[in-house]
Chains A and B, each alone.
Chain A
Amino acid sequence: MNIQPTSRLELLQGTLDLLILRTLLPGKTHGHAISKHIQRTSEDLLQVETGSLYPALHRLEARGWIAAEWELSEKGKRAKYYLLTTKGRKQLQAEQTKWETFSRAMGLVLNPLNQEEV
């Protein structure tokens, strides 16, 4: 029954927020586009469950990291557009640094030999 590609990754706990914030960095966009953008830029490796996306968006909005406004989409329909706030920008920076440190550390531990060869 399951016809999802096998190579698809489960999102790590807490990373969705970071992905959303990063996606919004260039400018405002709506929920569906955010989902598609993450999927596309991760070369289809990451797929955002809609069931997690919207709660996450509303949570970030409640925290004040993103703001929302209703605008007409390029096809002329009313859509809810999200944009990064100043607070969210700071949060993104902090989260991104944390993530990069974490992933470098993971890399160092998992591939000690590679490190030496380089």
Chain B
Amino acid sequence: MNRILRKLGWMAQRSRKEAELREELQFHLQEEAEQAEAAGLPAEQAKWAARRELGNVALLMEDTRATWGWTCLERLWQDLRYAARMLRKNPGFACAAVLSLALGIGANTAIFSLLNGVVFRPLPVADPQQLVQFTNTIPLWETGSSIARDLYAYPQLERFQAQSKTLSGIFGWTGLGRINVGSHGTSGIAQGNASSDNLFSVLGIRPQYGRFFSAGEDRAGASVAVISDRYWRNRFGADPSIIGGAITLNRVPFTVIGITPPEFSGIAVGSSPDIWVPLHALDLLKPDSKRWTDPLSSAWMQIAGRRRPAISRGLAQAELDVIHRQFLAQQLPISQFSGLETVQRFVYEGRLVLRPAASGMSSGLRDSYEFPLRLLMCVTGIVLLVACANIANLLLARASRRRREIAVRLALGAGRGRLARQFLTESMVLALIGGAVAVPMAWWGSLALVRMISTGGAPLPLAVDPDWRIFAFTGAVSLLTGILFGLAPAVRSTRADPGPVMQEGTRGGGRSSHLLDRTLVVAQVALSVVLVTGAGLFLRTLQKLWTVNVGYDRENVLMLSVDAKLAGYPSDRAGSVYREILRRLQVLPGVKSASASIVRPVDDEFNLLDKVNEIDGRSLPESDVIHVAWNATSPGYFSTVSTPVVSGRDFEPRDNETAPQVAIVSESLAKSAFPNQNPLGHRLGLATIVGVVKDSLYSGARDQPGPLLYYPLFQHGRDQEYGWGFVSFELRYSSLSNLPDEARREVASVDPNLPVFRTKTLVAQTEESLMEERLLATVSSFFGVLALVLACVGLYGLMAYAVARRTAEIGIRLALGARRDHVMWLVLRQTLWLTLAGIAAGVPLALGAAWYARSVLFGVSTADPLTIAVTVAILLSVAALAGYLPARRALRVDPMTALRYE
């Protein structure tokens, strides 16, 4: 650092130093001359002798300057000025190059920003690399592999906290989902989170105002709450006097004790809770008698901790794995599972694994988007390569126009390395300008992408603003790009042997240089094939997902959810509230039919799974148990969503709390439970089957048709453990216009405190469920087109240049009577060959890429013939276009002009 500063200081004194050197040498000359004169030479001769003695002054000064130690900087400065001059002289080229680089680098930076936000960005806490999350593996029966889960029971947290010596702190937490936050008579829905009282202290963050939970505060009756900065600003207008104030959570009074700092938005990417409460506040919000004591069957919380500084993750994991398995081995024999083989195996083969959690705890957002974003990173990387090839070609073409100039400079004694460095500096300047333009573009782009993948109105809580990682990435990519596209032109154009070049005049160089240009164009075409094929496969996937038979009709259905429990209704009164809402919705103008259910079609929030282990009063052996997904629906549900009832009947109002239990099964369930029998009248558990409906896909288009069990909502709703949680209403409408508002008004007319949420059409809900696929299809199509344009420009440039060089030849051919279509073909043929070579190289690459992306494809094979055929056709058309324009120019050549040319 000091040295650099000194150098910079010297730079400022440069002109003074220069003058001093001159004076010093002048003094030397005079001194020498005087001595010679004293020795007897005539004055004039003495002067000349001194001059001779001094030698080459320019060289001497150059050598001396070199010892001042700033030559490097000086040369760089010279090169930079030269580069700036060259770019100014050629603004068209400079703009085209900077624009395509900015697009390429910007695309990479934008996707990297997202990837950074979703995967890499560390939590804003002290020493995040010490954080680890507890997961455990469960051996899978059938495949021999295992899956990882991250849920634990409360006694396990206590055991870990008591016994671990390798972690300095261990905390547990669980999401509360929606909670109703009341303050000064108003109410609103917020996301809640419950955690052990050491969460904030283990993370090492300080409150913005007030305090966080103190040790021991997490105990029965705990009713304190910490509010997130965002919620504090949005709901409470950033009023610090809220500290110590009273709010209600689901109608239970709580005291606000602190506000989180603004940079902290939660411990898992994509979920940013508004309210934090101690774990034991769960007893006030969602009572569950087994929660604190059941050691095995109810694993409901996630656990994480902080390693002690000198302890490696492996060491900590070894210790905790022992604690984990000892706990299970103690609990199993005295539990209800003691006789079950699966559970035994779970204990003996399951392992505790510590996952690094520097960038946050496991997150659904990360799970769904990490791989698509990595794919898009490859896509944008390829786009940048195509852009590089393009600019390299432009530079090569320009360099071959400057062959004479370069030859002269080489002949005059310019060092080859020095010249090459000059060219490379120019490329670097281009790349860095491109990178600088790319940063704001990328920021804008990543914000647009976040908006695109955000569901439900509010943008995802995802940090994509540039941090040092993004700047480092952009800088590195820019430099690498500059080297990539600058190196070949720099090396090749300075390789020229001055002699022949000066003789040959302006005519172009030898064959080897063509090879490089052509290879670059072929590479562009090949990479475009990969991108266009990829875009094609993603588009086909999206299209297949939209056209797959889901078993219900998506059009003209509006859905909204209402939660009476959040408004404080006890289970026994919630049912009648929902009934009243449904009655009012059914008679709204514009509504053809309305129904209610627990799970809505394409539900993005939860599903209900169960096992059927008793048919007609007969218990099934463990191996024959049928795993089903279930739902509870009101009368009219099947007609509202247009799922045909195949036999029997839909639920009716008479299937109420007091009536005998009934159920409806899907065709799949009917087939597996009652093969070759009519299921009507049989019993599953306690419920008698009254109807069979067509299969429908329970959780969206990627689902497989499976056994589905329906219960009557108003008979079943309060019995399940969810105990009249929220209910989704489905409305089949004839015109949407302002139906959402009217529906909300109807709900409010029943009780204005009832929270209404997730109001959206079934089409919109489906769109949101296909967000990853849409992101992939949209972004890859956009970049596919961009790559095509770049490849087209590359081809066009190469052909235009080739035609220009062959002007004389074409002129002669035309003069000698060559047919115009032959000449046309002459040019087109070359374009087509290059394109075919590119396609031949690109298709295997595309197949490899598709195989890599196979997990996100749906209903289309990685080697989809249609996609490949269309890709080839598109590329050939683009090539024909790129070749046609120069070919037409070739035909316009006037033979006489052509011959006089040069």
Contact = CB atoms under 8 A, between A and B. Distances in A.
Interface of A: 30-33, 36, 49-52, 54-55, 58-59, 62, 70, 73, 77-80
Contacts of A51: 54-56, 59-60, 63
A50 B67 contact: no
Given A54-B25, A55-B67, A80-B24, A32 B31 contact: yes
Q: Which of A58, A59, A73 has the most CB of B within 10 A?
A: A58
Nearest to A58: B67
Given A50-B54, A50-B55, A31 B67 contact: no
Contacts of B59: 51
Nearest to B6: A62
B72 to A, nearest CB: 14
9 contacts: A30-B31, A50-B28, A50-B55, A50-B60, A54-B24, A54-B60, A55-B64, A55-B67, A79-B27
Nearest to B25: A54
A55 B63 contact: yes
B535 to A, nearest CB: 59
B319 interface: no
Contacts of A78: 23, 27
Contact of B27 (A49, A55, A80): A80
B293 interface: no
Given A55-B66, A62-B69, A78-B23, A32 B56 contact: no
B68 interface: yes
A70 B23 CA distance: 11
B64 A58 contact: yes
Interface string B40-71: 00000000000001111001100110111100
A59 to B, nearest CB: 4
Interface in B1-55: 20-21, 23-25, 27-28, 30-32, 35, 53-55
Nearest to B29: A32
Nearest to B34: A75
B13 to A, nearest CB: 13
A52 to B, nearest CB: 8
Nearest to B27: A79
A55 B60 contact: yes
Contacts of A32: 27-28, 31-32
A32 B21 CA distance: 13
Interface residues of B, number: 23
Nearest to A47: B53
Contacts of B21: 54, 58
Given A54-B24, A79-B27, 20 more contacts: A30-B27, A30-B31, A31-B27, A32-B32, A50-B28, A50-B54, A50-B55, A50-B60, A51-B54, A51-B56, A54-B25, A54-B60, A55-B63, A58-B64, A58-B68, A62-B68, A70-B20, A73-B27, A77-B27, A80-B23
B572 to A, nearest CB: 92
A52 B63 CA distance: 8
A52 B30 CA distance: 19
A70 B27 CA distance: 12
Interface string B140-153: 00000000000000
B555 to A, nearest CB: 81
Contacts of B24: 31, 54, 79-80
Contacts of A54: 21, 24-25, 28, 60, 63-64
Nearest to A79: B27
A11 to B, nearest CB: 15
A54 B30 CA distance: 16
A108 B67 CA distance: 37
A77 B30 contact: yes
Q: Which of A30, A54, A77, A78 has the most CB of B within 10 A?
A: A54
Nearest to B30: A77
Q: Which of B30, B56, B67, B68 has the most CB of A within 10 A?
A: B67
A34 to B, nearest CB: 10
Q: Which of A49, A55, A80 has the most CB of B within 10 A?
A: A55
Contacts of B27: 30-32, 73, 77-80
A59 B55 contact: no
A51 B59 CA distance: 8
Nearest to A80: B24
Contact of A50 (B20, B35, B53): B53
A10 to B, nearest CB: 16
A21 B347 CA distance: 81
A116 B184 CA distance: 112
A45 to B, nearest CB: 17
Interface in B751-801: none
B64 A49 contact: no
Contacts of B55: 49-51
Interface string B812-826: 000000000000000
A49 B32 CA distance: 13
A10 B389 CA distance: 54
A28 to B, nearest CB: 14
Nearest to A63: B67
A78 B193 CA distance: 82
A49 B52 CA distance: 11
Nearest to B23: A78
Contacts of A79: 24, 27
Contacts of B56: 51
Nearest to B56: A51
A70 B54 CA distance: 21
Nearest to B53: A50
Q: Which of A36, A51, A70 has the most CB of B within 10 A?
A: A51
A86 B771 CA distance: 74
A5 B69 CA distance: 36
A32 B50 CA distance: 11
B20 A80 contact: yes
B67 A59 contact: yes
Contacts of A58: 21, 64, 67-68
Interface string B876-899: 000000000000000000000000
A31 B68 CA distance: 17
B193 to A, nearest CB: 63
B752 to A, nearest CB: 83
Given A50-B55, A78-B23, A31 B60 contact: no
A103 B20 CA distance: 38
B7 to A, nearest CB: 11
B27 to A, nearest CB: 5
Given A51-B60, A80-B20, A62 B54 contact: no
A52 B66 CA distance: 12
A50 B55 CA distance: 7
Contacts of B23: 78, 80
A30 B21 CA distance: 13
A70 B24 CA distance: 10
A51 B24 CA distance: 13
A36 B66 CA distance: 25
Contacts of B67: 55, 58-59, 62
A54 to B, nearest CB: 5
Nearest to B10: A62
A42 B53 CA distance: 19
Contact of B28 (A31, A49, A59, A62): A31
A77 B64 CA distance: 23
Contacts of A50: 28, 53-55, 60
B708 to A, nearest CB: 84
Q: Which of B23, B28, B69 has the most CB of A within 10 A?
A: B28
A32 B28 CA distance: 5
Contacts of B60: 50-51, 54-55
A23 to B, nearest CB: 15
B376 to A, nearest CB: 52
Contacts of B20: 70, 80
Q: Which of A33, A50, A59, A80 has the most CB of B within 10 A?
A: A50
B51 to A, nearest CB: 11
Nearest to A75: B34
Q: Which of B31, B55, B60 has the most CB of A within 10 A?
A: B31
B583 to A, nearest CB: 94
Contacts of A33: 31
